[in-house]
Amino acid sequence: MDIIDGKAVAQKYKDEIADFVQKRVEAGLRAPSMVTILVGNDGGSIYYMSNQKKLCEKLGVKFRDIVLDENISEDELLEIINKLNQDEETDAIMLLVPLPKHINEKKITSFISYKKDIDGLTDINCGRFYKGEKSFIPCTPKSVLELIKSTGINISGKNTVVLGRSNIVGKPVAQLLLNENATVTICHSKTQNLKEICSKADILVAAIGRPGFVTADYIKEGAIVIDVGTTMIEGKVKGDVNFEEVSKKADYITPVPGGVGSLTTTMLIKNVCEASMGNVY
């Protein structure tokens, strides 16, 4: 059994990004730039924003944060995004969610220019993605695919099971696997014979937010197991997979922490670089 090292995969992309930025600057162009907007003081969002800032600084990507009072009106927030949409010095806009309850999240996210929407939140990016067209792909699903690919396995034709059908993880992971010509089954809380379905998977992706739910009897001998789950228990982050049991049966497995979560911010910054090149649009 091999542990898939999210940090090592991330390092490969960090090196590529740093190299890309350096070459751009040497060519007389400005460094790629992102703006992250935080409304209010959600702890998870603050943590994610500080990780983005640190990584951007390390890789030479320009980072600016806009921290807004939780009582800001929808119109004021729209005006800020409007200015950023038009600002030629801003390649990428990251709006942290959740937003305060009085703000219509769908209305605000849809207002971000699809050309700067590095987290793939807008309807245009989402629609293009599910039609199999070029688009910005959300960074958690993108990280899952990269980790599977890092094993060297040919995904085409493989029997894959995605546990979870959320818009931010389960569904886009399933779509990415489908794009790679895998045979994909999506399971959720109403799925019958869950264990039986999972135990036939060559590749199993768990994204349900139920710590330790996936035990050895869910696993096919030699499978690849990707654990997206992150639940805080007594100050420690726990995945959806019972690592100790499952690692004895799987050929490859991601740890929590040190797996998917180690790659997401890097994938986000990779999208900033793509936005700066106009690679997607």
Q: Identify residue 81 by its one-letter amino acid code.
A: I
Neighbours of 58 (CB within 10 A): 12
DSSP track, 67-123: EE-TT--HHHHHHHHHHHHH-TT--EEEE-SPPPTTS-HHHHHHHS-TTTBTT--SH
We find the least distance from the C-beta atom of residue 237 to ligand NAP, in angstroms, to be: 9
Q: Which is nearer to ligand NAP, 6 or 33 (CB)?
A: 6
Q: Which of 231, 245, 258, 281 binds ligand NAP (CB under 6 A)?
A: 231
Q: Which is nearer to ligand NAP, 21 or 225 (CB)?
A: 225
Q: Which of 49, 260, 268, 269 binds ligand NAP (CB under 6 A)?
A: 260
Asked if 173 touches ligand NAP (CB under 6 A), the answer is: no
| DSSP code, position 187 | E
Q: Which of 122, 116, 119 is nearest to 48 (CA)?
A: 119
Q: In what order do the strands lie in the sheet with 62-68?
A: 62-68, 33-39, 92-95
Q: Which two tokens stand for residue 177?
A: 């696997």
We find the least distance from the C-beta atom of residue 265 to ligand NAP, in angstroms, to be: 9
Segment near ligand NAP (CB under 6 A); pick from 78-86, 127-135, 257-265, 272-280: 257-265
Q: Which is nearer to ligand NAP, 59 or 147 (CB)?
A: 147
Asked if 209 touches ligand NAP (CB under 6 A), the answer is: yes
Asked if 264 touches ligand NAP (CB under 6 A), the answer is: yes
Q: Identify residue 218 by its one-letter amino acid code.
A: Y
Q: Which is nearer to ligand NAP, 83 or 188 (CB)?
A: 188
Asked if 208 touches ligand NAP (CB under 6 A), the answer is: yes
Asked if 164 touches ligand NAP (CB under 6 A), the answer is: yes
Placement of tokens 């100790």 in the chain: 244
Report how far residue 210's alpha carbon sits from residue 238's, in angstroms, rounded to the nearest whole number. Answer: 9
We find the least distance from the C-beta atom of residue 187 to ligand NAP, in angstroms, to be: 6
Helices (H), the chain: 6-26, 43-59, 74-86, 105-111, 123-130, 139-149, 170-179, 194-198, 243-246, 264-277
Asked if 207 touches ligand NAP (CB under 6 A), the answer is: yes
Contacts with ligand NAP, residue ranges (CB under 6 A): 140, 163-166, 168-170, 187-191, 194, 207-210, 228-231, 260-261, 264
